[in-house]
Structure 1
Amino acid sequence: MLSKLEQAEQRWGGANQLIDQWLSHRRSLLIQYFKLAGLPPYETEEQSLPSFDNVKEFCNALVDYVSEGHFEVYDQVVSACEKHGPNSQELARQLLPKISSSTDIVLDFSDKYTQATSENVLLELDDDLSRLGSSIENRFGYEDELLEVLHEYHS
């Protein structure tokens, strides 16, 4: 996921302030994800669960990232698509539901860990992070297709 992010930053970075901001937020989110999951380059030698506070911070960042997409970025992309013809509109029409399907997974994950009353829920974190990682990786791919449209028409 980090290598795909670097490709996106190289391709679209510097072309549009909104794109730069969003990719920066994606990078921060991925770093938090990799730290929580203990994935390279953030793996540790001791196998221990992350702190409950770190998981909740990640959940907040995750929801912020998803919200930014839905309430800021996607609106601009859809507006650009409306202005630039039926092909662009069709792309947006196809991609937005695919992106939205991962929103439910993100919100379920966040609800589970922010509303938990016991830290025992952390015993399920590895499996939940694995499912979440797969979902957000797909989401990032769809978002990158939308970013291409935004870049094409706004830079």
Structure 2
Amino acid sequence: MLESCQNAQERWGGVHKLIDRWLLERNELITAYYALSADPEAFAEKSTPLQEFCGSLVDYVSAGHFEIYEQLTNEAKAFKNQRGLELADTIYPRIDVITEKLLAFNDLCDEGKCVAEKFKELGGLLHERFELEDCLIEVLHNAHKEQIEAEV
């Protein structure tokens, strides 16, 4: 996951400051995930690694839904990127399902019911989400690049 995050930063790092910040938040989330997965004692109620992970998780998910996805959709509309809009219509529902599962995990932790078994499921969900998000960014980035080149 960490390598995938670094690749995304290299490909789209300068596209938009909002995306830059979000990719840094993704990196923090991945780091917190690995720190938590390496510490069997971390699932004790309200442990610091668990709190850090849950905080990063909620920050990342919130930024995606309340900032990034809106920005990506607006850019697709501005550039009349029908392919990007159709892709978003296909991908966003799956991201929403993943978001619900991630936030349900956070809620369990808030209630002191966080268990390692549920945490293990998150790795696959996060990986899938990152791939879906990267796909959205790539389609929109390539559309911008093509249009700018055509105008030159």
| TM-score range relative to shorter protein | 0.7 to 0.9
Show structure 1 runs of 5+ residues with no match.
39-46
TM-score by length of 2: 0.84
Query: Structure 1 stretch 137-146 or stretch 76-85: which is displaced more?
Result: 76-85
Following TM superposition, the consecutive aligned residue runs of length 4 or more in structure 1 with deviations greater than 2 angstroms are 149-155
Aligned counterparts of 1:136 and 1:48: Cα–Cα separation in 2: 20
Show structure 2 runs of 5+ residues with no match.
none
1:77 alignment partner in structure 2: 72
2:111 alignment partner in structure 1: 115
* 3-state secondary structure, aligned to 2:105: helix
Aligned counterparts of 2:69 and 2:61: Cα–Cα separation in 1: 10
Aligned ranges 1:83-122 → 2 under 5 Å: 83=78, 84-116=80-112, 121=113
Deviation at 1:56, TM superposition (A): 1.9
CA-to-partner distance for each residue in 1:28-66, whole Å, 9 max, x for gaps? 11000000001xxxxxxxx74115232122112101100
Check conservation: 1:66, 1:103, Cα contact below 8 A. Answer: yes
Residue 139 of structure 2 is aligned to residue 149 of structure 1: yes
TM-align CA RMSD: 1.9
Which has the bigger relative contact order, CA under 8 A and spacing at least 6? 1
TM-score by length of 1: 0.83
- For this pair of structures, how many residues does the alignment match? 141
Identity of aligned residues (%): 36
